[in-house]
Every structure is written in structure tokens, then in C-alpha cells.
Chains A and B, each alone.
Chain A
Amino acid sequence: MDYATLLQVLDATLRLATPLMLACIAGLYSERAGIFDIGLEGKMLAAAMCAGAVAALTGSAWLGLLAGVGGSLIFALIHGVTSITFRGNQLISGVALNFLAAGLTVLMAQSLFGQGGRTPPLNGEARFQPITLPFAETLQSVPVIGPFYEEVISGHSVLVYAAFAVVGLTWFVLYRTRFGLRLRAVGENPAAVDTAGISVKGLRYGAVLITGVLCGLAGAYMATALQAGFGKDMTAGRGYIALAALIFAKWRPVAAMWTCLLFGFFQALANRPDVVEAVVQFKVPVPFLTALPYILTVLALAGFVGRAIPPRAGGEPYVKER
């Protein structure tokens, strides 16, 4: 594989890893607070539809983004109400919301645009455009680093850079702020938080809503940056890959970023089987690359790749003991 091809693959990796990263960090907030969320997929889908629709109607990608976040937040709120207020089964709630999103998005897109459940193709301002970073042109002539900067680092939409910023910010929030300390505590031992005089429900709702916002960004990116519009089931399991990445990264933000980049890299390779074959000298089946994130996650869960221990209070509604 020559350098140019490598850069192409890495460029695609970044684009494909972005929605994973946003969704993964989204899930991190919720699960760190002790609320399991297998509904990342649904929230992304809802956001993608809302973003695609509003961007198509207003011609503004930014308004689309706002709508995407709004759509995702509604789903997050329902999940919060079922699992925090009504102490329902968080897994079942997630499954239900994924179904709801899969159906409702097509229904609404169809009723708004009548184009078979997709939103109209977006162009111009309705889509997030690539940003050329400073000096990308001038540095191009510098060997190795120049093309890397120009091809891989520069030339992405603002949401790609936002995703990395979110990772950094999340690390800071989680480990350097009061909110982060409380968030981590409530997912491990809500009774400790409760006896310290802090509202368990308040913290958990906060976390679930942040999950909603970030899934909103992930979905909006899918519809208004990675692709030009919403299409039926366009997230194609990315919510579950993000979940897998979260587990693989043992619920830590920076590790989550690397995992998502790795899983994004697999996706990029799955699009370029020719490259893989050239490198390893034999034909690697594309489905194997597609399945790799899941296989790795199962291995991690089984403790073969370092033990993945979820937050201790995860999945359990908090009830004061008698």
C-alpha cells in the first residue's frame, strides 16, 4: 500500500469514526451514571431524520443540527422517564425506543417529503462543508507530514473536529469537575451519592439528557455531513458499534476515542478490500472486517482482552433500601 492510499484510508477512518465517537461518548455519560442505554441507535436515527428534514426545509445545516439534537433529546427523555422515574427495565426501554425510532423516522420523512421515507438530497448550506485548516495548502509540499495534514487532518466538516473536542471535554468533565465526580459516583454507588445529600434522579436525568445531545450530534453528522440527507435505517447498526466501543474502552473517554478510531478504520478497510488484500497478501472477507468490532467486544467482555467491568450500579433502578 502506498502512502497516498494509506492517507485515503485514514481520511475515511476519521469520517467514519466521528459518528461512532459521538455516540460512544454519548453512551458513556448515561452508562457512567448507571443507566444502560442500548437505544443509542434509535436516538441517532431520530436525530439524523430531524436534521435531514429541517436542513432540507430551511437550507441551513445548523438549524438541522439543532433539530437533530431536539429529536434525540425527546427519545432520551422518554428513556429517562421509563428508567429513572418509573424504574422500568432499561434494556427493554432501549429496545422499544430503537423500534420506535426506526419506524417513526420513515413515517415522518415520508409524510413530509413523500420520497419513500428519505429526505431530499442536501447541498450547499444545508450540508456541513469541509473546512480547510490553515496552512493546508502551504504545508502540502513538506514531505510525509504535509500530505498527512492536508489529506487526513484538514478538510473535514466542523462536526468531525467537534467530536474530538467532545472527547477532550468529556475527559475533563469526568475527571476534573464536581459534576464528573458525582456522575461517576452515581453509576457506582447511588446510595453514596444519596447519603451525601445529592439527588440521584437529578444526576441521572442530567446524564441521560447529555446522552441525548451527543447522539443528536452523531445523527446530525450522519445526515448532514457524512451523507447528503436522511435515508431509511441509515445508521445501520452504528449505535451498537458505539456501544461495543464503549465496552471495549471500559467506559473511559480517551480509550473510547481510540477504539472508535480503530472501529472506524475497520469500516474504512471494509470499503477498500483491495487495499487489505494488497497488504496481507490474501483475500480477507469484507464481512469479517465488518464483524471485527463485535468479535473484539465479545472477547473483551469475556475477559480475554482485559476485563470489561461495567459501572457497578448499571441497569439497576435506585430504590432506597429498607
Chain B
Amino acid sequence: MERLPRWADVALVPLVSLTLAFTIAALIILAIGQDPWEAITVMVQGTVMDAYGWGYTLYYATSFMFTGLAVCVAFHAAMFNIGGEGQALLGGLGVALVCLFIPWPHWSLALLAATLSAAAFGAIWAAIPAYLQAKRGSHIVITTIMFNYIAASLLQYLLVNTLKPVGQSDPASANFPDATHLPALNDIPLVNLFFTKPVPANITLFIALGMAVAVWVLLWHTRLGYQIRAFGKSEPAARYAGINPTRIIMIVMILSGALAGMMAVNNVMGEAERLLGNSASGAGFIGIAVALMGRNHPLGVVLAALLFGFLFQGGAELGLWTKIPIEMRIVVQGLVILFTGALDVMVRMLLGRIFAAFRARAEGAA
């Protein structure tokens, strides 16, 4: 197969994949008798044309940054963490326990504690499959899927049987006390010059961005990150260099679970301000798409998270203002994962042929 130049590898391959995904999405919209151009207009209008739209786009993007980083970190050690959903659910539990049962004098302290707690709960939920993978060889993809469902059941049980206030009918925890209310973007000085109306995007966005930087530093500027990447690239070589596989698998999955868990700070504490049954609402899975799209680089993850925030919010707008159902956004997610993830080889083969043809022509002309 033709080897692609670096710029093509980094930029062109994802761009072509994305174009293919969107082309097919447009064809699907046509097939259900709707207008793709109208769809894109509505999506752009409702997401990035005013502060309100941005408020939602950034809110979703924040969640996706966490779950995308979670998948990304694990990918670097060649671990496919498909359990972000369950880890985020458990993270929500961690947030709820901290917010409900400890009287906080100020939101900042609550935020700190909730973040740590969310990370810890998510980490524990990832550590079990990690241990089973490292020590007993149980395939981490399957165990993390199973743990997603176990987490959902656990949460359902806790919400119905212990956390639900007496007299409430829907399975949810009590509302968090006011002291744990996080500043939304419209509450933050300077930022509120742009965000004048209440929006769900909140201070957690900055934690997410901070985490992206932290992951970048970890992976490319620390000994641990070095070992993680080396292990992920080649296990036999890691053995030669004396890198301990069990240690790397455990650490990487704990980090991954912690990142996925921290997502709950954004939606449970920052938006819902109580714990709901399906609080993760698919963000764990979207993290896979975000990591693939972002080429497993934190900067790419941030950009891809913004793209998916746009798709998610735009999809909601479609559901509101057009005849295209909100589920269109799930279709697009699927297409993006399919083309950037599973059909990577196809796109590369395609581009390789094109490059080879160009080269042949250039040589012919010379």
C-alpha cells in the first residue's frame, strides 16, 4: 500500500472520512424526503450563530471532551475502553453523594470534592475490568460493555431504593443544595459579556480543557506517558525495555475511568443538579467517535468534541424545527465512527491510489 505523506495522514484522511460520512448523511436526509441544505442551515443557526446556541454546543462538547479523552488515553495503551458510559454513570453517583450528603460552604469546594469523587468512582468502575484483563486475560471490550449494564442497574436500584426522596415518583435523587450550584458561563465575569442569557455550559468546560492539557502533558512529557505509548505501540518491545504490562494496563484504565467519571460534574452537578437514571445519555459512546475523529490527540479530541457538540445540539434543533427526527444525530455519529474508525483502511487505500496516480503522472511529465 502506498505510504501517505504526513500531512495527508494527519489532516486529509480524517477530512475525507468526515466528508464521506456527511455525504451519506445528506443522502439519508434526501431519502427520507427532507432537504439537507435546510438541515445544515437549521443546525448552524441553532448552534453557533448566537450565544444561546453556543451555550448548548459547549455544554455538550464539555461532556464529550471528558469521554473522548477517556477513550483516547486508553487507546494509547492499545486498550479499547468501551465502558465510558458506565464509568460516567458511576461518576454521577460520586458527584451526587458528595453534593447531597456533605454541607458545602462554597461551590468551589464542592466542585473540587465532586470532581475527585466522580473521578474516583469512574476509576473504580474501570479498574475492575482492567484487573481482569491484566491478570485473567478477560477481553476488556466485553467486560466494559457488561459493566455499562451493571452500572445502569446499580444506579437504577440506588435511585429507586435509596436516593429517591420520599413522595417523589420519578427515579431521581433529591435536588442538590444551592451551595453546590456551579457558575454557568453566564455567571462568569467577562464571559457573561457574551453569554447574557442562562446557558447550561458551565465552569466545568475549563476543567475539561485543563484535562486535555493534562493528558497531553502526561502522554508526551512524562515517563509514565512514554511508557503508556510504548506499551500501546508494541508489547514485545515494552517487554524488552522492562515496562510492566500489568502496571500500565491498571494505570491507564484508572485514568481513563476517572476522566469518563469526571464528565458527571458537567451534566449532573452543572446542569441537572440532581442524579437521574440515564445521566450519561450516550456520551460515553460518543467518546469513542470523538477519540477516533480526534486522531487520539487531546487537541484533536477537543476539536472533535466541539464538532460533536455541534452535531448533538444541531440534532436537537433539527428535531425541534424540521421534520428530521433528533435521531439524525445518532446516525451521523454512527457514520463518523464507521468511516474514521472501521473503514480507515479503505480511505487510506483510496488516497494511496490517488497519490500514486498523481506521482505517476508527475513522473511521466518529467
Contact = CB atoms under 8 A, between A and B. Distances in A.
Interface of A: 38, 78, 82-83, 86-93, 95-104, 106-108, 110-111, 117, 232, 237, 240, 243-244, 247, 285-288, 290-291, 294-295, 297-298, 301-303, 310
Interface residues of B, number: 48
A243 B342 contact: no
Interface string B306-337: 00000000000000000011011111111101
B341 A100 contact: no
B285 interface: yes
Contacts of A294: 146-147, 149-150, 153
B344 A88 contact: yes
20 contacts: A82-B346, A88-B346, A95-B341, A96-B342, A99-B285, A100-B330, A103-B334, A108-B32, A111-B32, A111-B34, A287-B154, A287-B157, A290-B153, A291-B154, A294-B153, A295-B146, A298-B143, A298-B150, A301-B132, A303-B138
Nearest to A283: B161
Contacts of A287: 153-154, 156-157, 160
Nearest to B129: A298
B67 to A, nearest CB: 13
A106 B80 CA distance: 28
A134 B273 CA distance: 59
A111 B33 contact: yes
Contacts of B154: 287, 291
- Which of A99, A244, A294 has the most C-beta atoms of chain B within 10 angstroms of its own C-beta? A99
Given A240-B149, A291-B154, A301-B139, A102 B338 contact: no
A92 B341 contact: yes
B141 A38 contact: yes
Nearest to B341: A92
Given A82-B343, A86-B343, A103-B328, A93 B149 contact: no
Contact of B341 (A88, A247, A301, A303): A88
A103 B138 contact: no
Is chain B's binding surface mostly helix, strand, loop or mixed?
Answer: helix
Contacts of A288: 153, 157
B325 A99 contact: no
A117 B334 contact: no
Given A38-B145, A117-B327, A287-B154, A99 B138 contact: no
Contacts of A310: 139
Contact of B345 (A86, A99, A247, A295): A86
A301 B154 CA distance: 20
B149 A91 contact: no
A104 B349 CA distance: 28
A237 B278 CA distance: 14
Given A86-B349, A99-B285, A301-B146, 9 more contacts: A87-B345, A88-B346, A93-B338, A95-B285, A99-B337, A106-B327, A237-B149, A240-B146, A291-B153
Interface of B: 28, 32-34, 80, 82, 132, 136, 138-139, 141-143, 145-147, 149-150, 152-154, 156-157, 160-161, 285, 288, 292, 324-325, 327-335, 337-338, 341-346, 349
A250 to B, nearest CB: 13
Contacts of A104: 28, 331, 334
A87 B141 CA distance: 18
A83 B355 CA distance: 24
Nearest to B286: A99
Contacts of B328: 103, 107
A317 to B, nearest CB: 9
B157 A102 contact: no
Given A285-B157, A287-B153, A96 B341 contact: yes
- Which of A88, A96, A100, A294 has the most C-beta atoms of chain B within 10 angstroms of its own C-beta? A96
A187 to B, nearest CB: 15
Contact of A96 (B157, B161, B338, B346): B338
A78 B34 CA distance: 25
B83 to A, nearest CB: 11
B136 A302 contact: yes
Contacts of A301: 132, 136, 138-139, 142-143, 146
Contacts of B288: 92, 95
Contacts of A95: 82, 285, 288, 337, 341
B335 A100 contact: yes
B327 A103 contact: yes
A107 B337 contact: no
Nearest to B135: A302
B331 A303 contact: no
